[in-house]
Amino acid sequence: MRQKQEEIKVHSKVAKLLFGSLAFVLLGIGLIYAGAESSNYFVLIIGFISMALFSLGLVFSVSKLIKSEPALLINQEGIVDKSSYAGAGAVSWNEIKNISFYQVKKEKIIAIELYDAERLISRQPLWKQKLMRINKGMAGAPIHLSSLNLSCNLYELFPLLYRRWNMSKSGGDLDIQKENI
C-alpha cells in the first residue's frame, strides 16, 4: 500500500534572532547618542544604519514569534521557505534543479538551485528580488537555508530534502518511513 509523505515542519530560531536584533538596535541607539554628543557624524551614521537594519530583524523575529508558523515546510508538493527575509515561499519539487550543502566559517547552508530561478525571483516583491539575486550570486542558488535560522540540524535536514526531491522525480507517492529532524 502506498502512503503519502508526511508533512515536516521546521521552526525558526526566533529567540536568537530576537535578542541579537534587540542588542544591535540598542547598540545603534548608543552610537547615535555618542555620535550626537561628540559631533562625530561617522559614528552617528553607523548608529542609524545599525538601528535601521536590526530594527527590521526585530520586526521579523517578533512577527515570527506571534505567528508561530514554520520557517520551512516540506510536503508532497515541495517546500515552503519562510526562513529568512529572502525566503522563497512555495517551491515545487519539479522547479528544483539541485540541492547542495556548503559551509561558510561555522554557518552551514543548504543551497537550492532552480531550473528557472528568474521565474521564482520575479514572483517576489522588489526588495526580496534583490536579496534573492545576492543569494544566487553567492552560490548559484536563489534559496539558502541557513543553520542560523532553522531549529534543526542541517546535517539531518539535507539528506531528508535530497531524498524527498529524488522521490518526487521518480513518482512521488513512495512508501516512506516517518522522518524526523
pLDDT tens-place string over residues 155-178:
999 999 999 999 888 765 544 445
- 88 and 61 in a common domain: no
CA distance 78 to 72: 11
CA distance 151 to 88: 18
- 88 and 52 in a common domain: no
- By DSSP bridging, strand 143-146 and strand 107-114 are antiparallel
Q: Which domain holds residue 124?
A: 72-169
pLDDT tens-place string over residues 17-29:
788 889 999 999 9
Q: Taking the model in full, what pTM does it have?
A: 0.69
| 6 within domain boundaries | no
Residue 1 has pLDDT above 50, yes or no: no
- 121 and 76 in a common domain: yes
Mark residue 39 as left, alpha or beta (left: phi above 0; alpha: psi -120 to 50; beta: remaining).
Answer: left
Structural domain count, the chain:
2
| 39 within domain boundaries | yes
Binned at pLDDT 50, 70 and 90, residue 151 comes out as confident
**Total residues found in the chain within this entry:** 181
